[in-house]
Structure 1
């Protein structure tokens, strides 16, 4: 029944597209690019970095996506950048319930298809290149490949992950829709003229499993210049004016309290139960067998569907006095203040589990940019491409491993945290601009 509905929707969409007049053809300009994100522009840092790099090198860019959160200020004021906001689908179509998802999903796809098609074909100017983020692959790849065919635009897919693997988190890997999604993604991926991937491991999968013959180039995430290690005076100034942790200010400076940061989109691919279990274990140790351990303050930043669920769990743990030595806060910060928070913290935490095993969390890249050492879930193939174990970070595979790492790093007699901090500061010297210039800049003809 569900497959019949999807086929019917696909047929309707195809008819609608064919009834529309042909899109305007792309002019053969030196470098004009549509950068497309079927998501919130403000929470798509890599695509914003692409846009800024193209514009800075003299290219004209149209940045297309949902404007739920403001992009970087530099983009809003740059003369070579034009924002083309997409109309988001109604909020009632957003659901984490599996049954409701199967009912609302087809309608959401239909609305997204229409909005993306009309915006790319009629509301935006034709360009020589189109750079699109994947995932989401449905309906993005179908729409952009069709538009690029009609407009004679060259398509670049920027692979952050695989759409079918994220769908499998919601429905299960054996669900028929996951198989359909995989077939759809592997088939339409071949329409691209070129591909960027965030890891070498992902590039290998595209070659071996997706059978892509177009050029595939690894473009590792690197931090933008916004993320920098802070001087002591800048760190103190930020902590002093950051209202969320005001009561801990003096103790943080005296290292009686340690400040941790974790950034999340509150989605199923980040298991916050693991972090909470580790913090409960740490708190128990700090109040019994390891009294020398400092109190921890953790700021969790981000927006997403599971936020309220975990806030409820945190309240329950506090009521049960399971977090006596841990204070947890949640926040949503501007880019500038988020960068300052990273530069002011003692340790970053990543719970990204990688649905495909070959993507990487950009939050870790930003943490390294600020000279912040990282502990993260490491049980996936691409982890070593990002973190050098015991040099700039440490990996864990269970809540108890994470608790052990926290006890080890924050023991006042240990020097490990200082060594990781030095390694992260060295890592901060690797920047987005140099990585982008040698890969994307050359492909687009903006860098010789």
Structure 2
């Protein structure tokens, strides 16, 4: 019975979506030569936490294009985005709080309603609030309702659609509902159908390109565009300068004597606190590390600074607080933080080691946070049990992989117990930092948009 209701609700929301989109738009296509270098960028998420799409905008503007970014404005975008005269932001109205839920049954009920609300908001932003452009660059996922709204908008406005594939929408939905759920199957059909409306595709890995070519059977050009760090991520090579910055952070207040004596290692992890990043892996590894460090004084104290926002944050903070109260983290201190763009870049450059918990729902996407860490010259340990991992990290050269809390513990003990090994990885990460976003973007996306 529930499965039937889900299918009916999904079909109804799709039908209403099409009905809404067939309403006429305010703006008609233009032949103005200036519009040939104009691009709309659609992010159905927080613009400030969508670094790749911000980098797209800055690169387009740098090459003489005009950019309109459409997305949620929940946190501050990159300062250059807000100050650039050729970049404007059209904020999407947030959905009502009561439509957001982690309850599986309520998700089934509220999901279609949330989609319809997003359809109306997207249609207003794309067809009424912003003028027509030559290109529409869409971040995917989320796929629903982004791909449908974008496809029909581009058809009516004679705009060329480009999809930037960060992952697959159906694989993320499968984390919540399970891979055999009828709604997941419908999501697969939806994504494979509407993506064929695009004139071209960008994707984050070669492995993803293979899936799009083989499983999605796309005929339009598919161009791998690997993530690279932006210019504000730079290594800090002087250890003294790194310590001086760390001492300014309130998160280091309780451990500054250890920092000054050299018996502290700073570990950084950026997380969205979602199911595809199992934060319990890091907690378990730090718990076991503390136990070993008590028995082995040669192992330094760890300060773990965790940045980011997300739905599971409070749940994990309660777990951490309970363990701290029980005295389980004698040689580990955990702090959470939300930093400015510049301070986050300096934190990465000043830390001892970065940790990525991204597990990849599809197996062919890659975490942007690791790219940023390499840009700052920070070595990385990360969850490596997915196909695309070797496209980003060279094992033992600029980072190391793990597949369990025990393996992560082994990496921490190995690197924090041997300064030479850690220094060797840092040297590899600093070498990797020379590969920059503009070097990757100009010949691929710049050429596609006719800007380079």
Question: TM-score, normalized by length of structure 1?
Answer: 0.97
Measure how far apart 1:251 and its partner are.
2.2
In structure 2, relative to structure 1, the CA distance for the partners of 1:19 and 1:36 (3 Å cut) is closer
Equivalent residue, structure 2, for 1:417: 422
Match of 1:20 among 24, 49, 64: 24
Shift of 1:253: 4.2
Specify the SS of the correspondent of 2:360: coil
Please name the residue that 2:131 is paired with.
125
Conservation of the 8 A alpha-carbon contact between 1:23 and 1:147: no
Deviation at 1:321, TM superposition (A): 1.9
Between 1:228-237 and 1:181-190, the stretch displaced more is 228-237
Distance 1:387 1:192 in 2: 31
Alignment of 1:438 with 2:435, yes or no, is no
Counterpart of 2:230?
224
Q: Deviations over 1:93-145 (max 9, x none)?
A: 11121111111111100000111011101110100001000000000000000
2:404 aligned residue: 398
Q: Distance in 1 between matches of 2:225 and 2:133?
A: 22
Partner of 1:4: 8
Question: Take 2:206 and 2:159, find their aligned partners in 1: how far apart are those partners?
Answer: 27
Q: Do the aligned partners of 1:298 and 1:327 also contact (CA within 8 Å) in 2?
A: yes
2:46 aligned partner: 40
> What residue number does 1:358 align with?
364
* Correspondence for 1:235: 242
d(CA) in 1 for partners of 2:25, 2:337:
46
Per-residue CA deviations over 1:365-385 (Å, capped at 9, x if unaligned) read 000000000000000000000
Instruction: Provide the rounded CA distance (Å) in 1 between the counterparts of 2:9 and 2:283.
Output: 41
- How far does the alpha carbon of each residue in 1:335-365 deviate from its partner, in whole angstroms, 9 at most, with x for none? 1110011011000000000000000000000
Moved segments of 4+, more than 3 Å: 19-23
Q: 1:58 to 1:351 in 2, by over 3 A?
A: same
Give unmatched runs, 5+ long, in structure 1: none
Match of 2:72 in 1: 66
Q: Which moved more, 1:372-381 or 1:9-18?
A: 9-18
Instruction: After TM superposition, give the deviation of residue 264 of structure 1 in Å.
Output: 0.5
1:342 aligns with 2:330: no
Deviation string 1:177-200 (CA, Å, 9 cap, x unpaired) is 111001100111111100000000
Match of 2:174 in 1: 168
Secondary structure at 2:116 match in 1: helix
Aligned partners of 1:390 and 1:420 also within 8 Å = yes
Pair 1:382 & 2:357 matched: no
Provide the rounded CA distance (Å) in 1 between the counterparts of 2:436 and 2:100.
Answer: 36
The alpha carbon displacement at 1:250 in A equals: 4.0
**Distance in 2 between residues matched to 1:393 and 1:12, nearest whole Å:** 48
Using the alignment, how far apart are the partners of 1:9 and 1:21 within structure 2? 20
- Measure how far apart 1:10 and its partner are: 2.0
Q: Do the aligned residues in 2 keep the contact of 1:27 with 1:126 (CA within 8 Å)? A: no
Say if 1:135 and 1:163, in contact at 8 Å, map to a contact too: yes
> In 1, are the aligned partners of 2:243 and 2:259 still within 8 Å (CA)?
no
Instruction: Tell me how far 1:414 sits from its aligned partner.
Output: 4.8
What CA distance in whole angstroms lies between the structure 1 residues aligned with 2:122 and 2:113?
A: 14
Q: Does 1:254 align with 2:258?
A: no
Q: Name stretches of at least 5 consecutive residues in structure 2 with no aligned partner.
A: none
SS in 1 for 2:36: coil
Q: Does 1:283 align with 2:290?
A: yes
So what's the TM-score if we normalise by structure 2?
0.96
Q: Which residue of 2 aligns with 1:245?
A: 252
Distance, in Å, in 2 between the alignment partners of 1:22 and 1:228 is 44
Q: Which residue of 1 aligns with 2:379?
A: 373
Contact 2:41–2:53 (Cα < 8 Å) also in 1:
yes
Distance 2:260 2:384 in 1: 30
- How many Å separate the matches in 1 of 2:122 and 2:447? 28
SS in 2 for 1:82: strand
265-274 vs 1-10, greater mean Cα deviation: 1-10
Tell me, yes or no, if the aligned pair for 2:168 and 2:362 is still in contact at 8 Å.
Answer: yes
Mapped to 2, the partners of 1:195 and 1:12 lie a distance apart of: 27
Match of 1:303 among 300, 309, 318: 309
The root-mean-square deviation of aligned C-alpha atoms, in Å, is 1.2
What is the deviation of 1:23? 4.5
Counterpart CA distance in 2 for 1:16 and 1:147 is: 11
3-state SS of paired residue (1:235): helix
**Residues 164 and 203 in structure 2, CA contact (< 8 A), matched pair in contact too:** yes
Q: Does the 8 Å contact 2:10/2:183 carry over to 1? A: no
Question: In structure 2, what is the equivalent of residue 264 of structure 1?
Answer: 271
Instruction: Note the C-alpha offset of 1:438.
Output: 1.2
CA contact (8 A) 1:198 1:360 kept: yes
**What SS is found at the alignment partner of 1:136?**
coil
